[in-house]
Chains A and B, each alone.
Chain A
């Protein structure tokens, strides 16, 4: 059972305390949704977990080894990061973009070996973008692009996926598709070692409720509440944190919430 654990993380930038003694643990086999109002510190927490930002205090450990002792390359093989907005600066072919996911494995090699090509093909199939392989990534629709970037992540064969608002600009069809792919990565059921973990920042409470095993609610740099979606996404909690009222839905054993109305205070 693998874990990515953050203990007592604090981050202060320009005298503004972004995170205050936050502890988070991501285990294999689970998909965690990180929610909270704008400016709560979600992206900051994700970046700390992804080894992109060094916290002022506290430590992060992968399988109980401190991140400071793991080389960036080794860490890249275990954890993959999907950044917000996910830019692609050059109009590369889709298969070349996905091949970028193999960079942590290349070392000084310039050519892809059979193993790399295998991983790329598997990734293309998993993300259902194999038919787009020769297209230029800049000519794709938003949803197709996001799946290609996910394929890039799959190509790295990571254990843990850290995603920052992966579905922000997508239409409903693609939103569901991407969330399904992420959940599959976490729940894919072979044996304990290859089951992954996903931590994703989401704004959409509905998607968070339906697809995540656990929810962490962050506000003003602190964890307000965490646990099962049903336990966290309650009216009083959401009213306090977001200032909204919600309607909850229970349908065929699936739980969901719909933001309903703004309240005052």
Chain B
């Protein structure tokens, strides 16, 4: 095992990148149509193969990669910041708050006024949640306080989402509750990519730049500060980064759960538990996991009726239970 760990130490990133690339191209080849790749590349706008590839498949898989990366990265960052392996954007209510923001923006017409409304709604919701979390549980929160706060926020936000959908003028609104609670990447277009990925990218930059601070936090907040980090400013940077990543991701794909919890957990032993190395690995791992889930969804229901979150929950739920058993001591 130590031999494998030693290899993983140096080769983990290249391995993850290789798997991601392979999976990405595999995902692009899945679908009811058998594509003529040459035609697709030579005539992107005029041939049907081109339209299917560039406008139907590529946006969906690009979003799977970006949303997965954002959720994985945000999970790793939250866990590093809160020094807690059970922190995850969905568990702590950040995702559902983002969903509420997106719901208000979409169903009440703001998104029709400006395309900015949808991602900004999600981001505002996510920011509110993180700020609420800090207010409610304080800076040195125990595991229990954090999880309880997350449960409370999740419950309140889900009710507000249902309420908002109920009062929405659109007749389909209430039946779309499942979309917001479980997430889906069906029917995505390049517009969706343009609307959300820039925000996610800024979030990635912010979070990746905080790697060394997260490493320093291993020794506690005071020691981190004594190592030359301005904790307050960096904490805000992480909060904003998480809000951008989770907010934009949820606004465009609904609340896909468990990625922010499962991926950092799986990868942590392979990066020697170092929070900084975990960041980029979790981003890649999250992208891989979501791509895999999307491929499974497409196999199981070509029309896309099955929600992505069902698959991630089927993987993540049992994993989470296993985690609880393993971490029983931590929760005391």
Chain A residues close to B by CB (< 8 Å): 47, 50-52, 71-77, 79-83, 85-93, 96-97, 100-101, 103-104, 106, 110, 149, 152, 156
Expressed in whole angstroms, the minimum distance between the Cβ of A116 and any Cβ of chain B is 13
| Chain A residues within an 8 Å CB radius of B83 | 89-90
**Partner pick for B275 among A71, A90, A106, CB 8 A cutoff:** A90
Q: Which residue of B lies closest to A90 (CB)?
A: B273
Q: Which residue of A lies closest to B211 (CB)?
A: A110
- For window 315-331 of chain B, which residues contact chain A by CB distance below 8 Å? none
A87-B219, A87-B220, A100-B215 given as contacts; is B226 within 8 A of A92 (CB)?
A: no
| Chain B residues within an 8 Å CB radius of A88 | 218-219
- Bound-complex Cα distance A90 to B219 (A): 9
**Partner pick for B219 among A47, A51, A100, A104, CB 8 A cutoff:** A100
| Chain A residues within an 8 Å CB radius of B217 | 89
A92-B272, A93-B272, A96-B274 given as contacts; is B226 within 8 A of A80 (CB)?
A: yes
Is the pair B219, A86 in contact by a Cβ cutoff of 8 Å? yes
**Partner pick for A89 among B212, B218, B227, CB 8 A cutoff:** B218
B230 CB–A CB distance under 8 Å:
yes
Chain B residues close to A by CB (< 8 Å): 83, 211-212, 215-220, 222-223, 225-230, 272-276
| Chain A residues within an 8 Å CB radius of B222 | 47, 52, 81, 83
- Bound-complex Cα distance A72 to B226 (A): 8
Is the pair B227, A104 in contact by a Cβ cutoff of 8 Å? yes
Is the pair A51, B212 in contact by a Cβ cutoff of 8 Å? no
- Bound-complex Cα distance A76 to B213 (A): 14
Expressed in whole angstroms, the minimum distance between the Cβ of A7 and any Cβ of chain B is 21
Q: Which residue of A lies closest to B214 (CB)?
A: A90
Is the pair B273, A72 in contact by a Cβ cutoff of 8 Å? no
Is the pair B228, A89 in contact by a Cβ cutoff of 8 Å? no
Given A52-B222, A52-B225, 16 new contacts (CB under 8 A): A72-B228, A72-B230, A74-B228, A81-B223, A83-B226, A86-B219, A87-B219, A88-B218, A89-B218, A90-B275, A92-B274, A96-B274, A97-B219, A103-B212, A103-B229, A104-B228
| Chain A residues within an 8 Å CB radius of B225 | 51-52, 72
Is the pair B228, A100 in contact by a Cβ cutoff of 8 Å? no
| Chain A residues within an 8 Å CB radius of B212 | 103, 106
* Chain A CB within 10 A, most for which of B215, B226, B227, B274: B226
Expressed in whole angstroms, the minimum distance between the Cβ of A142 and any Cβ of chain B is 16
- Bound-complex Cα distance A47 to B272 (A): 31
- Bound-complex Cα distance A81 to B222 (A): 8
* Chain B CB within 10 A, most for which of A75, A79, A89, A149: A89
| Chain A residues within an 8 Å CB radius of B227 | 76, 100-101, 103-104, 156
Q: List 29 A-B contacts (CB under 8 A).
A: A47-B222, A51-B225, A51-B226, A52-B226, A71-B228, A72-B225, A73-B228, A74-B228, A75-B228, A76-B228, A79-B226, A81-B222, A83-B219, A85-B220, A86-B223, A87-B219, A87-B220, A88-B218, A89-B217, A90-B273, A92-B218, A96-B274, A97-B218, A100-B215, A100-B227, A103-B215, A103-B227, A103-B229, A106-B212
- Bound-complex Cα distance A104 to B227 (A): 6
- Bound-complex Cα distance A129 to B211 (A): 26
Is the pair B218, A72 in contact by a Cβ cutoff of 8 Å? no
**Partner pick for B229 among A72, A79, A82, A101, CB 8 A cutoff:** A72
Expressed in whole angstroms, the minimum distance between the Cβ of A47 and any Cβ of chain B is 7
| Chain A residues within an 8 Å CB radius of B219 | 83, 86-89, 97, 100, 149, 152
- Bound-complex Cα distance A52 to B227 (A): 11
Expressed in whole angstroms, the minimum distance between the Cβ of B228 and any Cβ of chain A is 3
| Chain A residues within an 8 Å CB radius of B220 | 83, 85-87, 89
- Bound-complex Cα distance A96 to B225 (A): 18
Expressed in whole angstroms, the minimum distance between the Cβ of A103 and any Cβ of chain B is 5
Is the pair A91, B228 in contact by a Cβ cutoff of 8 Å? no
| Chain A residues within an 8 Å CB radius of B273 | 90-92
Is the pair A96, B272 in contact by a Cβ cutoff of 8 Å? yes
Q: Which residue of B lies closest to A74 (CB)?
A: B228
* Chain B CB within 10 A, most for which of A51, A83, A86: A83
Expressed in whole angstroms, the minimum distance between the Cβ of B198 and any Cβ of chain A is 23
| Chain B residues within an 8 Å CB radius of A79 | 226
- Bound-complex Cα distance A9 to B172 (A): 65
- Bound-complex Cα distance A170 to B11 (A): 39
Q: Which residue of A lies closest to B79 (CB)?
A: A90
**Partner pick for A83 among B216, B223, B228, B229, CB 8 A cutoff:** B223
| Chain B residues within an 8 Å CB radius of A89 | 83, 217-220
Expressed in whole angstroms, the minimum distance between the Cβ of B2 and any Cβ of chain A is 9
| Chain B residues within an 8 Å CB radius of A93 | 272
Q: Which residue of B lies closest to A84 (CB)?
A: B222
Expressed in whole angstroms, the minimum distance between the Cβ of B265 and any Cβ of chain A is 12
- Bound-complex Cα distance A22 to B229 (A): 27
Is the pair A103, B216 in contact by a Cβ cutoff of 8 Å? yes
